[in-house]
Each structure stands twice: as structure tokens, then as C-alpha cells.
Amino acid sequence: MQADMSIAIGRVISRGGHHGLRLLAGLLIIVGIGAVVVLLLRAARRRRRRPPADRSPQPQPPPPTVPQPQPQPQAQTQPTVPRVSGPRPDGETISIRSLSKHYGAKVAVDELTFDVLPGRVTGFLGPNGAGKSTTMRVIMGLDAPTAGTATVNGRRYCDLSWPLHEVGALLEARAIHPGRSAHAHLWMLAQTNDIPRRRVDEVLGLVGLSDVAHQRAGQFSLGMGQRLGIAAALLGDPGVLLFDEPVNGLDTDGIRWVRQLLRELADEGRTVLVSSHLMNEMAMTADHVVVIARGRLVADLPTSDFTAQYTCSAVRVRSRHLDRLVPVLTAAGASTRPAADGAVTVSGLDPEEVGELACRESIALSELSPQTATLEEAFVESTESALEFRGSRPLAGAAPGSALSDREPSQ
Amino acid sequence: MTSAATLTTSRRGHYGLRGIVASEWTKLRSVRSTVWTLLITVVAGIGISALITSATASRWADRSSADQASFDPTRSSLAGLLFAQLAVGVLAVLVVSAEYSTGTIRATLAAVPRRPLVLVAKVVVFGALVLVTGELTSFAAFAIGQRVLSGHTPTASLSDPDVVRAVVSGGLYLTALGLLGLGLAAIVRHTAAAISIFVGVLFILPVITAVLPSSLADDVSRFLPAAIGTVMISAHRHDANAFGPWPSFALLAGYAAAALVAGGILLTRRDA
């Protein structure tokens, strides 16, 4: 009886179902424990690795001042990162020649030609959708041009032998795997171009991300993502730098820090191209501006010239006898444009001259005011007149932009 | 300064595959999805094999004698791999598509403008990782499956003819299939689309084929990756219509190569 029972039990157990399930459960537990142990070990190793990483690989103690999470402008004036010293004599430039890029029927960039020279910050301006980002992507070899060329130091991007050492770019904020740490992101880029690991720590320090270097980047704010992008651009210590809207998402301190950084990079003799759709922002930073609208060049000139060209150049005049006054002003070499409220905008003469002409003709003026347009207005005017020139509006004004587009790049 | 000096010396030569492979390895290591998908591969591969063999062992007496005669203990113990392949496919797709969904691809291609090198490095790193994982899973599933079967059904041993080939093929199958997934992802670039196609090829094509007239179905089904997998992990020959194990593997490797070449060409031609 007992023997029968044990045989029956034995058969139930050995029927296999339970056996297999037990085995599976055991296996799952083992694998689970193993995974937890591995993750813990990795975390522990990471924690241990961090402090000595600052010391060990450096034989000399040129301690790059560990920048604060919120880098102050004055902190940036210190030599935080060893860079190639002095201006680069060989004039590394970006050169755009008759560049066009079409996406299907849409023309993003249209016969664009300009140069970006070293040693100065070049602002790349245009309204949203003007083709700035596209141009930068073509420079970086990411998009193939439909026609024309974009070269860096005389070579196409895809022909560079150490691209990260020659060109650094911030093209979009937060273009990073959210599960990857800032350190891993930079390190995987560094490895492709034989950049030593300590350089990764250096640039993380420079942009103030040392403290969060091993956190998942998915937790980063937009500003931190932007800083990480800037760190990636600086990784190879390149002589040519492209920044697409670098101040987006940054707070006031961050914006000031970026301006300072751009200035320093240019002062070190690097070629710096910064895009923005905000003219005022560029006026603070850029030495030179390249303005485009609808993919076409509007202006390519020093920022001061741009400012002079488009600001303070007009006088608002109001009078009951405009019909007599306008021919007089035109005869004196001015161009006039009726303003919406019945006044006339005069350009080519300063307020004094307009006043004297009116006096000589005994015309009473009811308003005579210099038009001190802001840079922002100047920028809007320049791009709008470029659009007018292309026939999108019936009233073609003086279209100063069109005249500018024929200009040779100054210098 | 020190860093300037080192950076300058490294400027000689040209960026190369070694650094890019190291970079791809860093990428793979630094995201959690790699750990999870590989863990699922191992657990599903071994666990489902254990379940299937234990079910077989418990119902052995119910089988017809013809069924018993054709029983392939090797295949039974490796059947879990045909589920583990899903996890391998997901990882394969993510290796490429995550770069596009996150925008990392722009940084990658800016660092390595010669784009085919990126794909080659991905193939090397992902292929090696999956080959090692796949072989470990395959051998473990075989060993555990035979333990479960022993005493209830005939069992296989590595010294039996064709058994080592079948067990080794388990890892090879997962690797080749994974590379096919990698190629698909390079072609379509979207995670969901690539995984859908991958699953469709594996699980839906066989269903569609089954509806075809039987003469046609036999001709077509032996070309399907699912049928290839079954042939590769079997020690016995079950289906007279199917290709042999090595021709099957060559076919699958051919699919993977074709997908990768197409993906590589598109990667070079398209704007990133």
C-alpha cells in the first residue's frame, strides 16, 4: 500500500510538469539575482571611479578650475580648458558656394554664397525657416546639397580625416539617447576620433555638467541638454565651430555664458558660426552677420555696418503740403516712402537737411522725427525687403537687401 | 598644454574602424535596453525550452508511436530560441532606430562621415554580443532540456551525430536573424515599423504561406526565416521539402547581408 502510494507520488512528480516549472522558477530567480548584482556592481564601480578620475590620468597638476554648475562669466575668463594657443594662422574657414538644397518641391536654400572667416563670431541670421539649419546640416555633411558646395578648410566634410578635431557643431538641443549618461554620450563620440577620456571630463567641467555627468540624460532640462551639445562641439578642440540657436532654452546666466564662450573661441582664432532668429541677441555677440531669408542671401557684412545701414537711416516727415515737399526731397537725392498714417518716411537725408529744405520752400512741417529703428526692426526690414524683391508683395520698396545681396563679402 | 599636445599627435592618420567599434560598444553598454533584451533572450530561450521539454516529458505516453519515433530531443530542448529571437530582433532594431528617434545619428555621422563604417561597426559589435549570448543560451537550453527529458523520453547527447551542429546553430540562427533585423532597421529607420516588419516576417508570413495551395506552400515556406530556424535547431531531418541545415543558414545569412547592404546604401544616400 505504502509502496503503491510512493510510486504514485513519484509518478506525479516525475510527470515533469512540476519539475520543469520548478526549474524555470529557479532559473528566473538566479538570473534575476544575477542581474541585480551586476547592476549594483556597475553602480558601485561608477561611484568609486568618479573622484580619482580627476587626479589619476594627469601627470602634471594644471588643475582646470572645476567650474560651478552655473558657470559665471568671470570663471570663463580663467583658462578652464587647455586649448590650442594663439590664433590659427592657416585661416580655417567655411566656404559656401552657390549652395542650393531642395526637399522635393520645397527650396530650403537657394544659390547661397558666403564665407565664414576665423577670429570672429559670425552671426547667421534669418527668420524661422529661412534655411539656416539646412545650411549647417549641409556643412556638416548630414544633408547632401542639391547643387553647389560647402567646404571646411577647403575640403568637403566627408573628406576630413579627423572631423571632430576640425569641426564641432551643436545642431539640435537634446539630440541624445534619454537613457544614456552625458559622460557615455561624449565618450562614445570621443572614441571615434581618438580623443582621450580625460578630455570628456574636461568639456563636462567646462559646460558645468560634471556633477550630473553620470545621470541619465533623459532627466536633463533643455538648458542642460544645450550645454551637453556645446560640450560635444568642443570635444575635439576644433578650429571651426557651428552653433545652431545655442541660447535656446538657456536662462540669463546661461545666455551670458554662451556669449562669453563664443567671444573666447573667436578670440582664440577659431571660426565661429552662430545661427539665431533674434537680431538683438546677435548684436551682442557677432562681429559679422550673414542674413538670409527664404534660403537666399540678404546681407553679408560687419555687424556695425548692418546696424548703420538699417537703423537711423530714415526720417519721418508729416506736413499738409507733402505734395510739394516730396519732389523737393527727391530732387535733393532722398527716397521717400509713404507711411501708413499719412506721413512720409524719408531716407538719404538727415533730419537737419530735411528741415532746412522745408524751410527754404516755406513748407510748414507738423512732424520731423528721426527713425531710430531697433536692430530687430532693421533685421525684419532687411529680410522683408528681400521677400518683396522676390515678388511676394506687390509694393517693392527701396529693397536695400537686394542691393546688399550683390555685395562681395566684405574682407 | 598637455591636452593640446595629445590632441595634436592624434591628428595623424585617419579615424578608423577600431575606434568606431569601441564607440558602438560604449553605446550598447550605456543603455538599459541592451541589458533587458539580452536578459529576456536568455530567460526566454532557456525557460521556454524547459517548459516545452517538461510538457513533452509529461505527455510522452499519450504520443502515438510514430510521433515517438520521430521525436527530436535536440529540437525540443532548443525550441525556446524561437521565442528568444523576438528579443534579439528588438535589440537589433533599437541599435539602429534609437539613433534616429533620439537624434544621436547626427552626432554619430558628424563624428564618422564615412557612413558605411558606422553600420559595419554596429554589425561587428552587435553580432559578437548576440553570438556569445546566443551560443550560451543555446547550450544552456540544450543541457537543461536534456535533464528534464531524461528518464521520460529519448534524449540527445552532444556526441550524437548532428547534435553539436544543431546546438551551435541555435546561436548562429539568433545572430543571423538579429543582423537581418539590424539591416531592416537601417532601411526603415523607425522602431515601430522595423519591429513590425521583423515580427511580420517571422510570424505572419508563415500563416499567409499556410493558406497557399499546398504544392506552392511547400516551395515557399522553406525560404522563410521561421522554417530556417526550425531546420537549423533540429538534429533530425523532419521536412523533406526544407533545405538542409547549412544551406538554410546560408540563405538566412544571405537575407541579412542583403538587408545590410541595402541599409548601408540608403544610409549613404539619404540625408540624415
Q: In this predicted structure, what is the pLDDT of residue A403?
A: 35
Residue A86 contacts B where some CB pair is shorter than 8 Å: no
Distance from CA of residue A399 to its chain's centroid?
28
Share in percent of chain A as helix, strand, coil (round to 5) = 45, 20, 35
Distance (Å, rounded) from C-alpha A48 to C-alpha B258? 45
Q: In this predicted structure, what is the pLDDT of residue A280?
A: 77
For chain B, the structural domain boundaries read 16-269
Question: Which of A16, A189, A195 is nearest residue B54 as measured by Cβ atoms?
Answer: A16
Residue A33 contacts B where some CB pair is shorter than 8 Å: no
Q: In this predicted structure, what is the pLDDT of residue A86?
A: 39
Binning pLDDT at 50, 70 and 90, where does residue A387 land? low
DSSP class of residue A89 equals: T
What share of chain A has pLDDT > 90, as a percent?
42
Average pLDDT, chain B: 92
Q: Which of A81, A177, A197, A230 to mutate to test the interface with B (most CBs of B within 10 A)?
A: A177
Binning pLDDT at 50, 70 and 90, where does residue B85 land? very high
Distance (Å, rounded) from C-alpha B265 to C-alpha A326? 65
Do A19 and B54 count as a contact with CB atoms less than 8 A apart? yes
Residue among A378, A288, A260 nearest A94 (CA): A288
Residue with cell 539656416: A132
The one-letter amino acid at B202 = L
Question: Which of A23, A162, A184 is nearest residue B30 as measured by Cβ atoms?
Answer: A184
Do A188 and B26 count as a contact with CB atoms less than 8 A apart? yes
Distance from CA of residue B218 to its chain's centroid?
24
| pTM of the predicted protein model | 0.76
Binning pLDDT at 50, 70 and 90, where does residue A73 land? very low
Task: State the nearest Cα–Cα gap between B144 and chain A, in angstroms.
Answer: 9
Write a three-state SS string for B191-235.
Answer: HHHHHHHHHHHHHHHHHHHHHCCHHHHHHHHCCCHHHHHHHHCCC
Do B152 and A16 count as a contact with CB atoms less than 8 A apart? yes
Q: With residue B264 as reference, give the H or E element that holds it.
A: helix B245-269
Residue of chain A whose alpha carbon sits nearest to that of B117:
A192
Q: Cβ–Cβ contacts within 10 Å for residue B48, how many? A: 18
Do B106 and A172 count as a contact with CB atoms less than 8 A apart? yes
Distance (Å, rounded) from C-alpha A246 to C-alpha A282? 11
Residue B28 contacts A where some CB pair is shorter than 8 Å: no
Task: State the nearest Cα–Cα gap between B199 and chain A, in angstroms.
Answer: 25
User: What confidence tens digit (pLDDT) does each residue in B212-228 have?
Assistant: 888 888 888 899 999 99
Instruction: List domains and CATH numbers for chain A.
Output: 94-308 (3.40.50.300), 312-372 (3.30.70.1510)
Mean pLDDT across B197-205 = 94
Q: Measured between alpha carbons, how far is residue B136 from residues A98, A190, A266, B129, B233 in Å?
A: 57, 32, 55, 11, 14
Count contacts between A and B (CB, < 8 Å).
188
Mean pLDDT across A254-264 = 93
